[in-house]
Structure 1
């Protein structure tokens, strides 16, 4: 796919990200593993797509008026995307985040001019969960709309209409499988639905971190979580509206340690600085490639930049505190 060299709007920078062949993962899987470079979006993550589609949908339905405010509960990346889209279209943004997310995300949101509210992390059933808090704040404000990324299917439509056709065109219709982890479910469901429209034989796989309940749901029909993960923005304990009807053919569960191994290798061997969700996605793509066999072509999502996690994932002190392996080069610095 040829990316346009001139654009009429900054919003046109969202999407049309490139696909890169990942050498180490391809060798490990014995097939081709391709990564969709979502860190190329202006907000440096895959969530820019959902942000744009959600805002445009609210405008089209007449809910979002000039000068209005977009309110969202997020682990950070969707909030960053919403803040940028809001700025470009003349809206304000208010973002609610759990206070255990990376400092870099919080600093970025403040720098973008978003109003940031942080709350203690808690279970979804708790009325003080960041999602429920954001909904209440939106209801209490004049001229505000609640983005509701988890259950607003404009989220998955972004990937059905943009991510899936981009991957299909970039791989010239020669793709055997797609996988990624789930936070809201929009990326996996939308991309899976879109790719299935091109070729129903494409295998769509869930890659779940520990601590999430979806692996057991798709494998055994029960929403049951096991273990834990420090990955931000992924891991889900319920079937969101975005996940309903998702064409998931198989599922994998990946540990933080395995994901971190690929984060380290992709940086040291291929010069890609990524977050843990990307490492987990790549590990899942390798598992899918091994399942589909030699000669298969697998695509996955490189969700965001590792520069968003300098105080956590790329900090020896933080990794040691979490009892996770420390990257070799951090030990010597």
Structure 2
């Protein structure tokens, strides 16, 4: 047996029991592995459904252009379907999304426009607004609008819900889903509640999003909105696909817990998934006291870990955000082991001769150069030697004439591996701002001292 095209392989994704990461959570915990869809995410389902419906209604015409605001996964599903069906794609996304997601969309031949995250949805620069403007400007174009297009939730009512019901033989008691557009939880949840009204539908939200408070109070609170890192869930508006009547409760999960849990799923279950799966499991663990041993819980694992290699699966990215605290040495721990010495600097107006005398008297090989108190460059023994061999008269010149680019700056959470990679022939040290705001220097000697100490 074979399939006529890649779109026919969407759906019928496996349900896999989790054994380690949820060992302290009562009940049988099953993950719906949506990464086995051809676009590696659950969004393939609704992308094709939205296109099919638009074709039937005449909104999408032959040779048309699909324009959509997407965090990456919906775009992948739309781009894949567009190739098979003969459409062009233009996507807008936010600068919060991982580079891997943007690169994947471009690999499918889509044009991708990256817009700022930290603006209101109504702002003309937002990825919502830019996609709407393009729809007006580009001839023969159609915007699916995954947030308000009810074909999104209908796809999950027709596919995801029935699959879960059949795979659990009707034994499911709880469905746990990260909520972004709301299509998955609302569509699958509606179907499951029609089968058994006692099934609990739990939505996972993130801090900085409006869903939880709106569900609990009916108030859309703009003060709840602030930038967050977690991808694929949470919103700063209310998409039409979020059916609050179907969702029994929302649980918020922090960016840090979601990121670290995403890594744990890979390390403890061998399942390579994205950020929203980490949030979903984090939320489930927070809600574990609401579960009983006989419960059967299905958690949606929305997308694949390969789209987060530069983020949740990158230790330096985690350290920079203070998410990872492990035994590896960081700039902070190197400074803690270093003798307290005042960093020596020279103003850029000082002469080369003064720099030579400072290097000799202090027995150091390089000095950061300042201008109005700010570090703007560096001068090293080798710089002075090269300059004087070329022109001995430079002794009286200002060091600004021969200084080179400043040492790289790192933050306190930067790992020893990253610091070592920055120290090379051009840079014999790195600079770091300590907790009091004072600039410190880390040299190769300081790294060796920290390791051996």
**Shorter-chain TM-score above 0.5:** yes
Residue 161, structure 1, aligned to residue 190, structure 2 = no
SS at match of 1:20: strand
Q: Is the 8 A contact 2:213 2:220 kept in 1?
A: yes
For 1:148, the equivalent position in structure 2 comes to: 145
Equivalent-residue separation in structure 1 for 2:101 and 2:160 (angstroms): 24
SS at match of 2:100: helix
Q: Which moved more, 1:16-25 or 1:167-176?
A: 16-25
Structure 1 pair 246–15 and aligned structure 2 pair: CA distance change class (3 A): farther
- Once the two structures are superposed, what CA deviation does each residue of 1:258-297 show, in whole Å capped at 9, x if it has no partner? 2233222221121112111111112223344531322101
Residue 222, structure 1, aligned to residue 215, structure 2 = no
For 2:131, the equivalent position in structure 1 comes to: 134
SS at match of 1:23: coil
Q: Is the 8 A contact 2:204 2:280 kept in 1?
A: yes
Equivalent-residue separation in structure 1 for 2:22 and 2:312 (angstroms): 24
Equivalent-residue separation in structure 2 for 1:176 and 1:277 (angstroms): 21
For 1:18, the equivalent position in structure 2 comes to: 14
Equivalent-residue separation in structure 2 for 1:332 and 1:17 (angstroms): 41
For 1:274, the equivalent position in structure 2 comes to: 273
Equivalent-residue separation in structure 1 for 2:52 and 2:251 (angstroms): 34
Q: Is the 8 A contact 2:225 2:236 kept in 1?
A: no
For the aligned residues, what is the CA RMSD? 2.0
Equivalent-residue separation in structure 1 for 2:28 and 2:285 (angstroms): 9
SS at match of 2:113: strand
Equivalent-residue separation in structure 1 for 2:93 and 2:248 (angstroms): 32
What are the within-5 Å matches in structure 2 for residues 32-43 of structure 1?
32-43=28-39
For 1:257, the equivalent position in structure 2 comes to: 256
Equivalent-residue separation in structure 2 for 1:93 and 1:238 (angstroms): 25
- Once the two structures are superposed, what CA deviation does each residue of 1:133-155 show, in whole Å capped at 9, x if it has no partner? 11110121111100101000101
For 2:105, the equivalent position in structure 1 comes to: 109
Q: Mind listing any 5+ residue stretches in structure 2 that lack a counterpart?
A: 329-413, 418-453
Deviation of the 1:249 alpha carbon: 1.2
SS at match of 1:60: helix
Q: Is the 8 A contact 1:84 1:112 kept in 2?
A: yes
Q: Mind listing any 5+ residue stretches in structure 1 that lack a counterpart?
A: none
Deviation of the 1:47 alpha carbon: 1.0
Equivalent-residue separation in structure 1 for 2:323 and 2:171 (angstroms): 38
SS at match of 2:202: strand
For 2:202, the equivalent position in structure 1 comes to: 205
Structure 1 pair 237–246 and aligned structure 2 pair: CA distance change class (3 A): farther
For 2:51, the equivalent position in structure 1 comes to: 55
Deviation of the 1:9 alpha carbon: 2.8
Structure 1 pair 326–145 and aligned structure 2 pair: CA distance change class (3 A): farther
SS at match of 1:232: coil
Q: Which moved more, 1:232-241 or 1:221-230?
A: 221-230
For 1:70, the equivalent position in structure 2 comes to: 66
For 1:191, the equivalent position in structure 2 comes to: 188
Structure 1 pair 273–57 and aligned structure 2 pair: CA distance change class (3 A): same
**Larger RCO (alpha carbons 8 Å, 6+ apart):** 1
Equivalent-residue separation in structure 1 for 2:282 and 2:65 (angstroms): 38
Equivalent-residue separation in structure 1 for 2:193 and 2:272 (angstroms): 31
For 2:389, the equivalent position in structure 1 comes to: none
Residue 320, structure 1, aligned to residue 319, structure 2 = yes
Query: Highest Rg: 1 or 2?
Result: 2
